[in-house]
C-alpha cells in the first residue's frame, strides 16, 4: 500500500454547508451491488434535471474536469453512511478533500480509500474557493506531513486532520485490514475477557 504524504493537483469547488451523502449519491444508485459505476454519479441529481438536461454545477464545468482536489464548506458528507459517496468522488478523480468539517462516517470511509479529508478555517476555505474559481488551473498541494495546503505563490494555509488518519495515510496503512489482522491473538484475548461473549455463563470477570 502506498504512502500518501502529499496530494497535489487542480481543484474543483462545491460550495454549501451540510451537503449530505444523499446529495452526493442518491439512494437509487445504491441498488448496484458493486462500486464500479459510482464515478458516474457524484451530485447526479444536481447536475441533470428530470429530463436529463445538464444543469449548472461545478462537476459539469469543463474548466474543472480532471480536478483531483475538492474544496467544500462545513459538515460535508453528513448523513447516511453510504461509502458510495466517497467512492463516487474517488472514482470521478478526487484524491483529497479540503473543507471546514466533515461528517464522521464519510471522513472515516474516505481515509480507508486513501483519500484524505483535511480541515481548514472558514476564512482559508473561502480564500481557496475564490482562488480556484478565479483560476481553475491553479495547482494546490495538500501536505499531510507539514499539515499545510501549499499555494503556487509560495504561501500556505494550515490544515487539521485526525492524527490517526494522518499516520494511517503517511505510513501507507490506510487500508486498515492488514494492520488489524496482525493482532488476532490479542483480539481473541479481548473477546475472552468480555462476559457477554459467553452469554454471562459462569462468574463474570469484573
Partner 1 sequence: MSERTLYDKVWDAHAVTTLPTGQTQLFIGLHLVHEVTTPQAFDMMRERGLSIAYPQRTFATADHIIPTDTQVRPFADDQAEAMMAALERNVRDFDIEFYGLGSDRQGIVHVIGPQLGLTQPGMTLACGDSHTSTHGAFGTLAFGIGTSQVRDVLATQTLSMDRLNVRRINVNGSLPLGVHAKDVILTIIRTLGVGGGKGFAYEYGGAVLDAMNMDERMTVCNMSIEGGALVGYVNPDGTTFDYLLGRPFAPKGEAFDRAMAYWRSMASDPDARYDDVVDIDGSAIEPTVTWGINPGQAVGVLESLPRPEELQDPKTVEKAYQHMGWEPGAPILGTPIDVAFIGSCTNSRLSDLVAAARVAKGRQVSSDVRALVVPGSVEVKKQAEAAGLDRVFTEAGFQWREAGCSMCLAMNPDKLNGREVCASSSNRNFIGRQGSPGGRTLLMSPAMVAAAALNGKVVDVREYN
Instruction: Report if residue 31 touches partner 1, rule: CB under 8 A.
Output: yes
How far is residue 193 from each of residues 46, 165, 184, 206, measured CA to CA in Å? 51, 29, 14, 9
Instruction: Report if residue 195 touches partner 1, rule: CB under 8 A.
Output: yes
Nearest distance in Å: CB 137, partner 1: 27
Sheet arrangement for strand 148-150: 6-9, 140-143, 148-150, 156-158
State which of residues 13, 71, 78, 142 lies at the interface with partner 1 (CB under 8 A).
Answer: 78
DSSP code, position 160: B
CA 111, 136, 13, 153 torsion-angle sign: positive
Distance in angstroms (rounded) separating the CA atoms of residues 55 and 94 = 21
Instruction: Report if residue 171 touches partner 1, rule: CB under 8 A.
Output: yes
The contact mask relative to partner 1 for 115-144 (x = CB under 8 A, - = no) is ------------------------------
Instruction: Report if residue 162 touches partner 1, rule: CB under 8 A.
Output: yes
Closer residue to partner 1 in complex, CB, 65/183 = 183
Residue 177, classed as helix, strand or coil, is helix
φ and ψ at residue 85, rounded to 5 degrees: -70, -55
What are the residues whose beta carbons fall under 8 Å from the beta carbon of 22, sequence distance 6 or more? 79, 80
State which of residues 70, 105, 129, 157 lies at the interface with partner 1 (CB under 8 A).
Answer: 105
Residues that bind partner 1 in the complex, under the rule CB under 8 A: 16-18, 20, 22-23, 26-28, 30-35, 45, 50, 74-75, 78-83, 86, 101, 103-106, 108-109, 112-113, 162-165, 167-168, 171, 173, 175-177, 179-181, 183-184, 186-187, 189-191, 193-197, 199-201, 203-204, 206
Amino acid at each position: 500500500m502506498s504512502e500518501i504524504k502529499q496530494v497535489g493537483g487542480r481543484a474543483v469547488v462545491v460550495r454549501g454547508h451540510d451537503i449530505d451523502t444523499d446529495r452526493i449519491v442518491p439512494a437509487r444508485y445504491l441498488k448496484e451491488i458493486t462500486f464500479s459505476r459510482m464515478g458516474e454519479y457524484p451530485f447526479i441529481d444536481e447536475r441533470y434535471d428530470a429530463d436529463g438536461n445538464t444543469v449548472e454545477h461545478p462537476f459539469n464545468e469543463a474548466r474543472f474536469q480532471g480536478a483531483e482536489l475538492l474544496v467544500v464548506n462545513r459538515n460535508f458528507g453528513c448523513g447516511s453512511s453510504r461509502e458510495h459517496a466517497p467512492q463516487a468522488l474517488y472514482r470521478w478523480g478526487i484524491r483529497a478533500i479540503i473543507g471546514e468539517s466533515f461528517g464522521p462516517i464519510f471522513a472515516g470511509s474516505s481515509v480507508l480509500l486513501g483519500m484524505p479529508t483535511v480541515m481548514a478555517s472558514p476564512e482559508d476555505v473561502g480564500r481557496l474557493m475564490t482562488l480556484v474559481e478565479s483560476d481553475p488551473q491553479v495547482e494546490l498541494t495538500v501536505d499531510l506531513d507539514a499539515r499545510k495546503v501549499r499555494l503556487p505563490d509560495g504561501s500556505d494555509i494550515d490544515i487539521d486532520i485526525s492524527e490517526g488518519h494522518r499516520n494511517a495515510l503517511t505510513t501507507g496503512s490506510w487500508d486498515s485490514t492488514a494492520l488489524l489482522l496482525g493482532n488476532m491473538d490479542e483480539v481473541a484475548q479481548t473477546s475472552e475477557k468480555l462476559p457477554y461473549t459467553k452469554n454471562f455463563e459462569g462468574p463474570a470477570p469484573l
